[in-house]
């Protein structure tokens, strides 16, 4: 029975690839910049202390609770990257994090034509020494920037729209208080609460941070019979972004729920799938063509994500794989499941091939 399912899944994947289209709506990427030239001085085996400070906020009163929540999230994300965190005040590096939220107004005139475009990204680093994560983000940005879609809107009346600009700045200091790494990220929302998009954006900027040993993530196990409730709360009608993908991601959703239920092969692992689609550090394109031109948009008509997870209290890790099918508006999750060891081994082999292509692409100099 299980073999029949695997064969059927493989055939379905091939059929879906033939129906795939390279998305034309690019993922709305935050503005980022990173300075990493001196990161060679960083040792991932030395502990880091994290400090978070609020510079300004539209809310009154203490920001201590938000600071603590952000600090806990950054610590979790650093641990997921295999980095040591300060214990008993025995730290060697300090990661100072500052954030602020500004309230702004955007005016529209009845005679203007507004055009949307993707946010620019600036990364001051030497690609020859960059990690595969950093190169993957750079390629995703290049592919997204090459997207042909644009939007133009003729505004017929004057309106004022309030929005909020969130900024997070990080500086890594060594024991002598010398800055060896700095990064900034800016994004806009229509809510003053910086926490609304905090997880995905911190994942985005921390992908420029060096990683330590691979860490198997642990997520909660979804309770039997609660798929619909979980999906409606966290997944329905929501676009997700991943820093190593050029286009946004969503689940299919129809009235009776049959679309997403057919894609989710193991409901108990859906929290792991949700973590993977937002924080995967490797995305492998499976579209038309080969890896000779890794910025070719046709290459990204389909893509695959993969990673190891502990589900619930289990002490045995399982591989999660997510297949993404391209459409004009972005990626749809066509299949996600707990893979077999053989399936995951094939994914890892393809990952090696992709990372070799990334390294060759950015190998500019003799």
What length does the chain have? 366
The C-alpha atoms of residue 116 and residue 151 are separated, in whole angstroms, by 6
What pLDDT, on the 0 to 100 scale, is given for residue 29?
Answer: 79
Residue keyed to tokens 């900024």: 167
What pLDDT, on the 0 to 100 scale, is given for residue 7?
Answer: 35
Would you say 332 and 19 are in contact if contact means Cβ atoms under 8 Å apart? no
- Domains of the chain (ranges; CATH) run 2-26+216-361 (no CATH), 31-206 (3.30.160)
Q: Which of 181, 169, 269 is nearest to 217 (CA)?
A: 269
Interacting residues of 97 by C-beta distance below 8 A, sequence separation 6+: 50, 51, 52, 53, 70, 71, 74, 168, 169, 170
Segments of the chain scoring below 70 in pLDDT: 1-20, 27, 108-157, 212-213, 255, 257
- Kindly report whether the global pTM for this prediction surpasses the value 0.95: no
Pairing mode, strands 31-35 and 122-124: parallel
Structure tokens at 271: 């929290």
Structure tokens at 346: 């094939």
- How many of the other CB atoms lie within 10 Å of CB of 146? 12
pLDDT tens by residue, 133-174? 666 666 666 666 555 445 555 556 677 789 999 999 999 998
What pLDDT, on the 0 to 100 scale, is given for residue 2?
Answer: 42
Would you say 333 and 324 are in contact if contact means Cβ atoms under 8 Å apart? yes
What pLDDT, on the 0 to 100 scale, is given for residue 156?
Answer: 63
What pLDDT, on the 0 to 100 scale, is given for residue 108?
Answer: 64
The C-alpha atoms of residue 26 and residue 147 are separated, in whole angstroms, by 7
* Strand positions, DSSP E, the chain: 31-35, 48-56, 93-108, 113-116, 122-124, 151-154, 159-173, 179-189, 217-219, 249-250, 283-285, 302-311, 318-327, 330-338
The C-alpha atoms of residue 352 and residue 358 are separated, in whole angstroms, by 10
- How many of the other CB atoms lie within 10 Å of CB of 35? 18
């Amino acid at each position: 029975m299980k073999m029949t399912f695997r064969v059927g899944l493989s055939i379905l994947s091939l059929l879906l690839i033939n129906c795939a289209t390279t998305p034309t709506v690019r993922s709305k990427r935050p503005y980022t910049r990173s300075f990493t030239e001196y990161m060679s001085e960083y040792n991932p085996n030395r502990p880091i202390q994290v400090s978070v400070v609020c510079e300004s906020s539209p809310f009154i009163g203490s920001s201590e609770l938000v600071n603590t929540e952000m600090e806990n999230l950054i610590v979790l994300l650093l641990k997921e990257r295999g980095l040591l965190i300060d214990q008993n005040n025995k730290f060697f590096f300090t990661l100072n994090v500052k954030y602020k939220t500004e309230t702004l107004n955007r005016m529209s005139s009845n005679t203007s034509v507004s055009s949307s475009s993707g946010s620019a990204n600036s990364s001051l680093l030497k690609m020859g020494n960059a990690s595969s994560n950093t190169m993957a983000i750079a390629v995703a940005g290049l592919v997204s920037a090459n997207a042909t879609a644009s939007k133009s809107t003729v505004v017929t009346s004057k309106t004022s729209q309030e929005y909020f600009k969130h900024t997070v700045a990080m500086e890594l200091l060594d024991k002598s208080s010398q800055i060896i790494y700095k990064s900034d990220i800016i994004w806009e929302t229509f809510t003053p609460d910086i926490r609304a998009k905090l997880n995905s954006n911190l994942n985005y900027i921390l992908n420029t941070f060096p990683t330590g040993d691979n860490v198997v993530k642990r997520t909660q196990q979804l309770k039997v019979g609660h798929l619909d409730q979980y999906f409606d709360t966290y997944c329905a009608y929501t676009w997700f972004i991943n820093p190593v993908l050029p286009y946004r991601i969503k689940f299919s959703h129809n009235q009776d729920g049959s679309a997403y239920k057919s894609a989710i092969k193991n409901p108990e692992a859906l929290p792991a799938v949700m973590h993977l689609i937002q924080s995967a550090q490797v995305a492998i394109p499976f579209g038309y063509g080969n890896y000779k031109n890794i910025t070719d948009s046709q290459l990204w008509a389909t893509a695959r994500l993969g990673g190891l997870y502990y589900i619930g209290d289990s002490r045995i890790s399982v591989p999660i794989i997510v297949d993404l099918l391209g459409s004009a508006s972005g990626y749809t999750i066509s299949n996600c499941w707990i893979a077999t060891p053989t399936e995951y081994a094939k994914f890892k082999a393809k990952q090696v091939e992709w990372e070799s292509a990334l390294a060759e692409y950015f190998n500019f100099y003799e």
